[in-house]
Amino acid sequence: MSLIGSLSKHWLGVTSIAYLLTFVFWRYFILPLEISLTSENAIFASFLFLPHAVRVLSAWLLGPKSLYAMIPVGIALSLVGGVDPPQGYALLHEVLLAAFSASSAVIAFELMRFCKIDAYPKNSGTINWRTVLFAGVLASVINSLGSTWLKSGHFYPTEMMEVISRFILGDTLGLFVGMLLLMLTLRHLRSMG
């Protein structure tokens, strides 16, 4: 069985593991470095958020069914990532935030399809990467506005534009780096035979 065939057969596990691994890499390597170099607002929105690439690419390949992987993993990561487990309203807040962030890419692709811009893969085999990148930026804008609104009690109103800008920049850079790494990996695998 080919690599692509195997991946498509096990899409739920592959998507969940990719989301988990990119989040762990971001949380334990990128985030501490960013906090040491910039301000504490990196906790709210990072300059390089690699999990956004997984959200966008899985939404592109799988459509809305990618939410079966993204939402549970996103919720689990948000609940495990903190020092104290949230309870009551804080728990509901974390679940809503994780579910919204995980859904942002699917919302963007479906909004584009509603506007007659179908960015999903075609049977023709041609891929319009600019459309995928545009969907990722749109997903980032959706994510930044919704997440900033949901997190607005955690920072001063004067910092809101900084946080929104960080979301958009971090998600977009994360998508670009993720797509570049995927392209290089696939090119390497093809050259191996």
Q: What is the pLDDT of residue 1?
A: 47
DSSP the chain: --HHHHHHHTHHHHHHHHHHHHHHHIIIIIHHHHHHHS-GGGGTS-S--THHHHHHHHHHHHGGGGHHHHHHHHHHHHHHSSSS---THHHHHHHHHHHHHHHHHHHHHHHHHHTT---S--TT----HHHHHHHHHHHHHHHHHHHHHHTGGGS-GGGHHHHHHHHHHHHHHHHHHHHHHHHHHHHHHHHH-
Q: What is the pLDDT of residue 120?
A: 87
Q: What is the pLDDT of residue 71?
A: 93
5 pLDDT above the threshold of 60: no
| Residue-wise pLDDT tens digits, 126-160 | 778 899 999 999 999 999 999 888 877 777 778 78
Mean pLDDT of 22-37: 88
Instruction: Kindly indicate the confidence band of residue 185, based on its pLDDT and cuts at 50, 70 and 90.
Output: confident
